[in-house]
Amino acid sequence: MTARPVGPEAVSSGPDGAVAAGVARETGGAGPDPMPLKQLVAEGVSIWLDGISRDLLVDGGLEHLVTVCHVTGASANSEVLAAALGGNGAYRAHLAGLAVRGVGAESALRAMANLDFRWACDVLRPVFEATDGVDGRVSVEVDPRLADDREAVLTEAHALWRAVNRPNLLVKIPATAAGRQAMSDCLADGISVNATLVFSLDRYAQVLDAYLDGLERAGRAGHDLARIGSVGSFSVGGLDRAIDGLLDRLGTPEATALRGRAAVANARLAYKLHEEQLDSDRWRSLVAAGARPQRPLWEFPAAADSSCSYVKYVEQLVSWGIVSSMTRSGLELFAARADLRGDTVTGEYHSARAHLDALAGLGISCAEVAAGLEADALRALVLAWDRLRCAAEEALRDAALNRRD
């Protein structure tokens, strides 16, 4: 069984041992009610925060989420970081120092982000230790512009791993064909990985296979398999928007009756693939060598899209050994509106398959829709990365101007 997160006794510290200000202090109001979050954890779900920024670290916000709200992991988000840089805030002093040295935007961005990543890893290190490395992870992305270049992704992943230099880091790698190869290479080198941009069952099966291949190679290379962690990030929500649009075009009663259910059905069948892997001879051999499962991580749509559907997605994808990644606003919505009913995944495989079959009967292929979503998501990730770089350039210019004034 998967170890569970620790409680408020997990006091955390900032980078290089500096204790972050405001330990376990609430920020931005009362914050989410921890009881529904506690119930979610009791069902075997790990809650990870989607979005890290310096402000959240400086004011103790991440520590509060860990010690009070049962958050046991965190993930970098380009949009969150770009917004934080645009306001300068806690980055102001760091930006000023970088500006005076004439550091370029990309180098400055890496310096600021890597400090955030180290700091977040240190905040979550007690959770990492208490759960024997299952939780307490911080997930950060490689440059998505490299997603179709295996060697470039591998080089970037190694650079991130060395720069952050924390055992609880996960390197995010898009699950493109080149990305899956690089993912396997990273695992073989002992680097923990988060496989991202997974929308389809076929892609998820390929990610699971890449994970096993990487672990087998890591074992042959003499790495301690117990120290290698991984999640497969399965995107939830976008599929409903795309398929509901196709159903609306059909406009029949049969089509209308199928609206809003494809994403959950698809994710439930992904969890079935996860369970089947854990029951394979190939996996049993790796377990005997100390390996840990690659856990499914659900990535939910933006909470602002629809508060009711957001909570529905979390509620309907509850089972043991998964990770639910939520933004701050998503945590608050879930805590305010959740109505948990225990495991909502493992008893639903037949109905999930029947739903996808019914869509196929109307000429709608989830696999084809998911392929388009993957391509769209990668383009969106590249655009977000470009916006982040532009935000860093503007923040550096502002810092230089303020210094002259």
What DSSP line would sit under 210-232, residue for residue?
HHHHHHHHHHHTT--GGG--EEE
Residue 36: pLDDT over 60: yes
Question: What's the average model confidence in pLDDT over 80-90?
Answer: 78
Nearest to 64 by CA among 332, 404, 352: 332
Neighbouring residues of 88: CB distance < 8 A, sequence distance ≥ 6: 95, 395, 398, 399
Give the pLDDT confidence of 95-141 residue by residue, as tens digits: 888 888 888 888 888 888 899 999 999 999 999 999 999 999 999 99
Q: Is the pTM of this model over 0.85?
A: yes
pLDDT at residue 88, as a whole number:
64
Residue 205: pLDDT over 60: yes
Handedness of CA 126, 130, 135, 137 (dihedral sign): positive
Question: What's the average model confidence in pLDDT over 221-240?
Answer: 94
pLDDT at residue 130, as a whole number:
97
Radius of gyration in angstroms for the set of CA atoms belonging to the chain, rounded to a whole number = 21
Q: Higher pLDDT residue, 349 or 337?
A: 349
Residue 266: pLDDT over 80: yes
Q: Crossing angle for the helix pair 262-278 and 307-315, nearest 10 degrees? A: 20
Residue 14 within any structural domain of the chain: no
Neighbouring residues of 69: CB distance < 8 A, sequence distance ≥ 6: 31, 32, 34, 37, 47, 331, 335
Helix/strand number for the chain, H first, E second: 17, 8
Residue 394 within any structural domain of the chain: yes
Residue 296: beta bridge partners? 232
pLDDT at residue 237, as a whole number:
78
CA dist., res. 378 & res. 241, Å (int): 17
Residue 298 within any structural domain of the chain: yes
* Positions marked active-site: 172
pLDDT at residue 303, as a whole number:
56
Tell me, what DSSP letter sits at residue 100? H
Residue 47 within any structural domain of the chain: yes
**In CATH, what number is assigned to the domain containing residue 125?**
3.20.20.70
Nearest to 396 by CA among 68, 48, 108: 108
Band the pLDDT of 90: cuts 50, 70, 90: confident
What total of structural domains would you count in the chain? Answer: 1
Residue 39 within any structural domain of the chain: yes
Find tokens 């490299």 and name the residue.
Answer: 146
pLDDT at residue 3, as a whole number:
43
CA dist., res. 221 & res. 190, Å (int): 9
Residue 1 within any structural domain of the chain: no
Give the DSSP H or E segment for 141: strand 137-141
Residue 77: pLDDT over 90: no
Band the pLDDT of 217: cuts 50, 70, 90: very high
Other beta carbons within 10 Å of 380: 14
- Residue 201: phi, psi to the nearest 5? -65, -40
Residue 13: pLDDT over 70: no
Residue 18 within any structural domain of the chain: no
Nearest to 120 by CA among 216, 54, 183, 28: 54
Q: In this structure, are residues 170 and 138 in contact, taking their beta carbons and an 8 Å threshold?
A: yes
CA dist., res. 229 & res. 364, Å (int): 36
Residue 6 within any structural domain of the chain: no
Residue 10: pLDDT over 80: no
DSSP string, 268-302: HHHHHHHHHHHTSHHHHHHHHTT--PPEEEEEPPP
What range defines the domain where residue 121 resides?
24-404
